Protein backbone atom coordinates (compact mmCIF):
# COMPACT_ATOMS: atom_id res chain seq x y z
CA UNK A 1 0.00 0.00 0.00
CA UNK A 2 1.42 3.33 -1.03
CA UNK A 3 0.38 6.64 0.47
CA UNK A 4 0.92 10.28 -0.38
CA UNK A 5 1.30 12.84 2.40
CA UNK A 6 0.97 16.53 1.49
CA UNK A 7 1.98 18.55 4.54
CA UNK A 8 4.10 21.70 4.74
CA UNK A 9 4.92 21.41 8.43
CA UNK A 10 8.07 19.34 8.06
CA UNK A 11 7.99 18.10 11.63
CA UNK A 12 4.50 16.66 11.15
CA UNK A 13 5.45 15.38 7.69
CA UNK A 14 8.44 13.56 9.16
CA UNK A 15 6.36 12.20 12.04
CA UNK A 16 3.78 10.88 9.56
CA UNK A 17 6.38 9.44 7.26
CA UNK A 18 8.01 7.53 10.08
CA UNK A 19 4.76 6.41 11.69
CA UNK A 20 3.25 5.22 8.42
CA UNK A 21 6.44 3.51 7.31
CA UNK A 22 6.64 1.69 10.62
CA UNK A 23 3.04 0.61 10.09
CA UNK A 24 4.20 -0.98 6.83
CA UNK A 25 3.06 1.56 4.23
CA UNK A 26 5.19 3.01 1.49
CA UNK A 27 5.12 6.78 1.82
CA UNK A 28 5.72 9.65 -0.60
CA UNK A 29 5.58 13.18 0.72
CA UNK A 30 5.23 16.71 -0.62
CA UNK A 31 5.38 20.05 1.18
CA UNK A 32 3.26 22.13 -1.20
CA UNK A 33 0.13 21.71 -3.32
CA UNK A 34 1.88 21.88 -6.70
CA UNK A 35 4.29 19.00 -6.06
CA UNK A 36 1.53 17.14 -4.22
CA UNK A 37 -0.67 17.41 -7.30
CA UNK A 38 2.09 16.10 -9.57
CA UNK A 39 2.62 13.09 -7.34
CA UNK A 40 -1.11 12.43 -6.85
CA UNK A 41 -1.70 12.42 -10.60
CA UNK A 42 0.78 9.60 -11.08
CA UNK A 43 -2.14 7.50 -9.85
CA UNK A 44 0.04 5.13 -7.84
CA UNK A 45 -1.28 5.91 -4.36
CA UNK A 46 -3.91 3.94 -2.47
CA UNK A 47 -4.81 6.94 -0.31
CA UNK A 48 -3.89 10.61 0.06
CA UNK A 49 -3.38 12.45 3.36
CA UNK A 50 -3.75 16.17 2.73
CA UNK A 51 -3.23 19.17 4.97
CA UNK A 52 -5.46 22.17 4.17
CA UNK A 53 -3.15 25.05 5.04
CA UNK A 54 -0.53 24.71 2.30
CA UNK A 55 1.81 27.54 1.27
CA UNK A 56 0.90 27.82 -2.41
CA UNK A 57 -2.74 26.77 -2.58
CA UNK A 58 -5.52 25.61 -0.30
CA UNK A 59 -5.66 21.86 0.30
CA UNK A 60 -9.34 21.83 -0.73
CA UNK A 61 -8.37 23.25 -4.10
CA UNK A 62 -5.69 20.59 -4.41
CA UNK A 63 -8.27 17.87 -3.73
CA UNK A 64 -10.68 19.40 -6.27
CA UNK A 65 -7.97 19.57 -8.92
CA UNK A 66 -6.94 15.94 -8.32
CA UNK A 67 -10.57 14.76 -8.52
CA UNK A 68 -11.15 16.82 -11.68
CA UNK A 69 -8.17 15.11 -13.28
CA UNK A 70 -9.44 11.65 -12.45
CA UNK A 71 -7.73 10.76 -9.18
CA UNK A 72 -9.92 8.29 -7.29
CA UNK A 73 -7.74 7.57 -4.29
CA UNK A 74 -9.55 8.19 -0.99
CA UNK A 75 -8.52 11.40 0.77
CA UNK A 76 -7.98 11.88 4.48
CA UNK A 77 -7.93 15.58 5.34
CA UNK A 78 -5.62 16.51 8.16
CA UNK A 79 -6.13 20.04 9.36
CA UNK A 80 -5.87 22.48 12.23
CA UNK A 81 -9.24 23.94 11.12
CA UNK A 82 -11.57 22.53 13.70
CA UNK A 83 -14.94 24.23 13.19
CA UNK A 84 -17.93 22.16 12.10
CA UNK A 85 -18.32 24.37 9.01
CA UNK A 86 -14.73 23.73 7.94
CA UNK A 87 -15.05 20.00 8.48
CA UNK A 88 -18.33 19.79 6.57
CA UNK A 89 -16.82 21.82 3.75
CA UNK A 90 -13.84 19.46 3.62
CA UNK A 91 -16.05 16.40 3.41
CA UNK A 92 -18.31 18.02 0.82
CA UNK A 93 -15.43 19.05 -1.36
CA UNK A 94 -13.93 15.66 -1.95
CA UNK A 95 -12.45 14.60 1.36
CA UNK A 96 -13.46 11.10 2.50
CA UNK A 97 -12.57 11.68 6.12
CA UNK A 98 -11.38 14.56 8.27
CA UNK A 99 -9.01 14.48 11.20
CA UNK A 100 -8.15 17.61 13.20
CA UNK A 101 -4.72 18.48 14.52
CA UNK A 102 -3.34 17.66 16.96
CA UNK A 103 -4.02 14.01 16.24
CA UNK A 104 -2.99 10.64 17.63
CA UNK A 105 -1.16 8.39 15.20
CA UNK A 106 -3.27 5.42 16.31
CA UNK A 107 -6.45 7.24 15.29
CA UNK A 108 -4.99 8.28 11.95
CA UNK A 109 -3.99 4.66 11.24
CA UNK A 110 -7.45 3.39 12.18
CA UNK A 111 -9.18 5.95 9.94
CA UNK A 112 -6.79 5.14 7.12
CA UNK A 113 -7.53 1.43 7.36
CA UNK A 114 -11.24 2.22 7.19
CA UNK A 115 -10.78 4.35 4.10
CA UNK A 116 -8.72 1.68 2.39
CA UNK A 117 -11.25 -0.99 3.31
CA UNK A 118 -14.15 1.05 1.95
CA UNK A 119 -12.52 1.73 -1.39
CA UNK A 120 -13.49 -0.48 -4.33
CA UNK A 121 -13.75 -4.27 -3.94
CA UNK A 122 -11.41 -4.65 -6.92
CA UNK A 123 -8.82 -2.74 -4.99
CA UNK A 124 -9.43 -4.95 -1.97
CA UNK A 125 -8.86 -8.03 -4.08
CA UNK A 126 -5.60 -6.63 -5.43
CA UNK A 127 -4.72 -5.85 -1.83
CA UNK A 128 -4.21 -9.57 -1.19
CA UNK A 129 -1.13 -11.59 -1.97
CA UNK A 130 -1.20 -15.38 -2.09
CA UNK A 131 1.60 -17.90 -2.36
CA UNK A 132 0.52 -21.51 -1.82
CA UNK A 133 -1.51 -21.46 1.43
CA UNK A 134 0.10 -18.22 2.59
CA UNK A 135 -2.17 -15.18 2.30
CA UNK A 136 -1.44 -11.55 3.09
CA UNK A 137 -4.19 -8.95 3.47
CA UNK A 138 -2.39 -5.69 2.78
CA UNK A 139 -5.24 -3.51 4.02
CA UNK A 140 -5.80 -5.23 7.34
CA UNK A 141 -2.09 -6.02 7.63
CA UNK A 142 -2.95 -9.63 8.44
CA UNK A 143 -1.16 -12.77 7.34
CA UNK A 144 -2.47 -16.33 7.36
CA UNK A 145 -0.79 -19.63 6.66
CA UNK A 146 -3.71 -21.92 5.96
CA UNK A 147 -6.15 -21.25 8.79
CA UNK A 148 -3.44 -20.09 11.18
CA UNK A 149 -3.10 -16.33 11.67
CA UNK A 150 0.53 -15.26 11.88
CA UNK A 151 1.40 -12.75 14.60
CA UNK A 152 3.90 -10.55 12.78
CA UNK A 153 5.57 -7.29 13.71
CA UNK A 154 5.20 -4.54 11.11
CA UNK A 155 8.81 -5.11 9.96
CA UNK A 156 8.18 -8.83 9.59
CA UNK A 157 5.00 -8.12 7.64
CA UNK A 158 6.84 -5.73 5.32
CA UNK A 159 9.57 -8.31 4.78
CA UNK A 160 7.06 -11.05 4.04
CA UNK A 161 5.15 -8.73 1.68
CA UNK A 162 8.39 -8.05 -0.20
CA UNK A 163 9.18 -11.77 -0.45
CA UNK A 164 5.62 -12.50 -1.66
CA UNK A 165 5.75 -9.81 -4.32
CA UNK A 166 8.93 -11.44 -5.57
CA UNK A 167 7.78 -15.03 -5.11
CA UNK A 168 9.94 -17.43 -7.10
CA UNK A 169 12.69 -14.83 -7.53
CA UNK A 170 15.78 -14.66 -5.38
CA UNK A 171 16.14 -11.41 -3.43
CA UNK A 172 19.49 -10.41 -2.00
CA UNK A 173 20.13 -8.95 1.45
CA UNK A 174 20.91 -5.59 -0.15
CA UNK A 175 17.59 -5.60 -2.02
CA UNK A 176 15.77 -6.41 1.21
CA UNK A 177 17.56 -3.69 3.17
CA UNK A 178 16.79 -1.25 0.41
CA UNK A 179 13.09 -2.06 0.08
CA UNK A 180 12.07 -3.02 3.56
CA UNK A 181 14.28 -0.80 5.71
CA UNK A 182 14.98 1.92 3.14
CA UNK A 183 18.29 2.55 4.78
CA UNK A 184 21.93 2.03 4.08
CA UNK A 185 23.32 -0.41 6.58
CA UNK A 186 26.78 -1.67 7.08
CA UNK A 187 26.76 -4.57 4.56
CA UNK A 188 27.95 -6.81 7.37
CA UNK A 189 24.76 -6.18 9.37
CA UNK A 190 22.81 -9.28 10.24
CA UNK A 191 19.45 -7.48 10.60
CA UNK A 192 18.03 -9.29 7.56
CA UNK A 193 19.15 -12.72 8.75
CA UNK A 194 17.71 -12.10 12.19
CA UNK A 195 14.34 -11.04 10.77
CA UNK A 196 14.27 -13.94 8.29
CA UNK A 197 14.99 -16.31 11.16
CA UNK A 198 12.04 -14.94 13.17
CA UNK A 199 9.77 -14.82 10.15
CA UNK A 200 10.61 -18.38 9.20
CA UNK A 201 9.84 -19.60 12.71
CA UNK A 202 6.36 -18.10 12.30
CA UNK A 203 5.58 -18.80 8.64
CA UNK A 204 7.12 -22.24 8.29
CA UNK A 205 6.59 -23.44 11.84
CA UNK A 206 5.55 -27.11 11.65
CA UNK A 207 4.60 -26.65 7.98
CA UNK A 208 4.99 -29.69 5.71
CA UNK A 209 6.13 -27.39 2.96
CA UNK A 210 8.56 -24.64 4.03
CA UNK A 211 8.19 -21.50 1.90
CA UNK A 212 11.17 -19.33 2.86
CA UNK A 213 14.31 -20.75 1.38
CA UNK A 214 17.92 -19.67 1.74
CA UNK A 215 20.13 -19.45 -1.30
CA UNK A 216 23.56 -19.63 0.28
CA UNK A 217 25.74 -16.61 -0.31
CA UNK A 218 23.02 -14.90 -2.38
CA UNK A 219 19.84 -14.27 -0.44
CA UNK A 220 16.35 -15.65 -0.02
CA UNK A 221 13.45 -16.84 -2.11
CA UNK A 222 9.84 -17.56 -1.29
CA UNK A 223 8.67 -20.57 -3.25
CA UNK A 224 6.66 -23.73 -2.98
CA UNK A 225 9.26 -26.38 -3.79
CA1 LIG B 1 -0.06 23.52 7.03
Q: Give the chain's domains with CATH numbers.
A: 2-119 (3.40.50.2300), 127-222 (1.10.10.10)
Q: What is the mean pLDDT of residues 141-169?
A: 92
Cα separation of 77 and 114, whole Å?
Answer: 14
Give the separation between CA 126 and CA 138, rounded to whole angstroms.
9
Question: Ligand 1 centroid vs 5 CA: distance in angstroms?
Answer: 12
Q: How far is the CA of 9 from the centre of ligand 1 (A)?
A: 6
Q: The whole model's pTM is what?
A: 0.61
Tens of pLDDT, residue by residue over 85-112, are 999 999 988 899 999 999 999 999 999 9
Which residues are within 8 A (CB) of 171 and not within 5 positions of it... i.e. 6 or more apart?
A: 162, 163, 219, 220, 221
**Nearby residues for ligand 1 (ion, Cβ within 5 Å):** 8, 51, 53
Under the banding of pLDDT at 50, 70 and 90, the label for residue 52 is very high
- The predicted model gives 71-89 an average pLDDT of 92
- Cβ(3)–Cβ(26) under 8 Å? yes
Amino acid sequence: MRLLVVEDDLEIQDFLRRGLTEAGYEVDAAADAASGENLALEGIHDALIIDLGLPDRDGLELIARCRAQGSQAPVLILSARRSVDERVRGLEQGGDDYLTKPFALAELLARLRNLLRRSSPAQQESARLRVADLELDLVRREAHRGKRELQLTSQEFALLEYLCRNAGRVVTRTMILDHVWRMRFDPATNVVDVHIYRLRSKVDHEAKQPLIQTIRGVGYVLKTS
